[in-house]
């Protein structure tokens, strides 16, 4: 059976899962969810994700939701395919730390900036300059920590590309097309890492 990803192409959470599947060189079926029509809040989709958010994932009789949990499942279950994305033993602890940092430090500020500077314009909404300023300051502090980390290793989790890096990709890619790019460019190690991944 082919894996299925239920989601929307603009969803950074769904993009995180797509990126993992591509890195692992795995075939999957994309099942579009029309969020504008509210499909993600209908009973059929809620059976896959009771929170009514994309993505939802199926691999045979296994059903998962929450993009980072899905990516970890894929990386572990298909560890012998494509890019490894994980480490064994103690190095995996470091990868896990930086995966948490991405979810709780980077993503909180970066996603708000992405919403203000990218998605609001798509939906014809006005950007809130105060929210941008506040979250640029928050993201700057995170990127200062990243600059220090990346002076010790090529990637966030060590010397190889892992989920700790991949989880950044969707939001980071979107931010590179906004004024926030300057925050990455101001830090040589972060800038090189962003270009590399």
Question: Among 17-21, 78-82, 121-125, 190-194, which stretch is predicted with the lowest mean pLDDT?
Answer: 121-125
CA–CA distance, 9 with 33 (Å, rounded to integer): 9
First vs last C-alpha separation in the chain: 30
Instruction: Check residue 73 and give its pLDDT.
Output: 98
CA–CA distance, 188 with 186 (Å, rounded to integer): 6
Q: Is the pLDDT of residue 164 over 90?
A: yes
DSSP 52: -
Q: Is the pLDDT of residue 53 over 90?
A: yes
pLDDT digits (tens, 9 = 90+) for 72-116: 999 999 999 999 999 888 999 999 999 999 999 999 999 999 999
Helices 107-114 and 129-150, packing angle to 10 deg: 140
Q: Full-prediction pTM beyond 0.75? A: yes
Q: Among residues of the chain, what percentage have pLDDT more than 90?
A: 94
Strand duo 62-65 + 56-59: pairing: antiparallel
Q: Among residues of the chain, what percentage have pLDDT more than 70?
A: 100
CA–CA distance, 134 with 112 (Å, rounded to integer): 10
In which order are the strands placed within the sheet that holds 28-32? Answer: 28-32, 3-7, 56-59, 62-65
- Phi, psi angles (nearest 5°) of residue 22: -65, -45
CA–CA distance, 63 with 26 (Å, rounded to integer): 17
Name the CA radius of gyration of the chain, rounded.
17
Instruction: Check residue 88 and give its pLDDT.
Output: 85
Question: Among 32-36, 59-63, 64-68, 74-78, which stretch is predicted with the lowest mean pLDDT?
Answer: 32-36
pLDDT, mean of residues 173-178: 95
Q: What is the mean pLDDT of the chain?
A: 96
Instruction: Check residue 6 and give its pLDDT.
Output: 98
């Amino acid at each position: 059976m082919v894996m299925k990803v239920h989601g929307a192409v603009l969803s950074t959470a769904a993009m995180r899962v797509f990126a993992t599947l591509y890195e692992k060189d795995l075939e999957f079926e994309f099942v579009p969810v029309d969020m504008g029509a509210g499909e993600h809040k209908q009973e059929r989709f809620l059976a896959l994700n009771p929170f009514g958010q994309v993505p939802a994932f199926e691999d045979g009789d296994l059903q998962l939701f929450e993009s980072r949990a899905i990516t970890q499942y894929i990386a572990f279950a298909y560890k012998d395919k494509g890019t490894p994305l994980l480490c064994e033993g103690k190095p995996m602890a470091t990868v896990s730390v930086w995966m948490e940092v991405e979810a709780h430090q980077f993503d909180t500020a970066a996603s708000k900036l992405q919403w203000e500077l990218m998605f609001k314009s798509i939906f014809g909404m006005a950007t809130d300059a105060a929210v941008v300023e506040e979250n640029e300051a928050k993201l700057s502090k995170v990127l200062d920590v990243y600059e220090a980390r990346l002076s010790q290793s090529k990637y966030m989790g060590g010397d190889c590309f892992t989920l700790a890096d991949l989880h950044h990709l969707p939001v980071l890619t979107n931010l590179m097309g906004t004024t926030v790019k300057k925050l990455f460019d101001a830090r040589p190690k972060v800038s090189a890492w962003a270009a590399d991944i």
